Amino acid sequence: MKLSLKSGLFWGLVVGVITALLYAPKSGKELRHELKDKVSNVPHHFFNFLESLVDLTVSVLDFAKSAFHEQKEKFSNAFNLGINAAKEKAEELRKFTTKVS
């Protein structure tokens, strides 16, 4: 019989919880209280993680935006220099052709 990933994870979790309960050095009441405290903190930790992830994403996007604008500026300057160089060469050619003719 082949187990799917979900059922494998589920049964692994069940076996792990049962094993932890059997070998726990604490009483059931203490263990339930500690487990309740840890489970109640999960949403808080999850939202902290999401907040950190959003902050990181915003930082990466700001960096990418800054890099994009910097590259855009460099390209624009290079393009303008190319246009100016082409205009100068065109002017030189016009002068040359008027001298030749």
Q: What is the mean pLDDT of residues 25-29?
A: 75
Q: pLDDT tens digits for 28-50?
A: 788 778 878 887 888 888 999 99
Following DSSP, what letter does each residue of the chain receive, concatenated?
-PPPHHHHHHHHHHHHHHHHHHS-SS-HHHHHHHHHHHHHHHHHHHHHHHHHHHHHHHHHHHHHHHHHHHHHHHHHHHHHHHHHHHHHHHHHHHHHHHHH-
pTM value is: 0.47
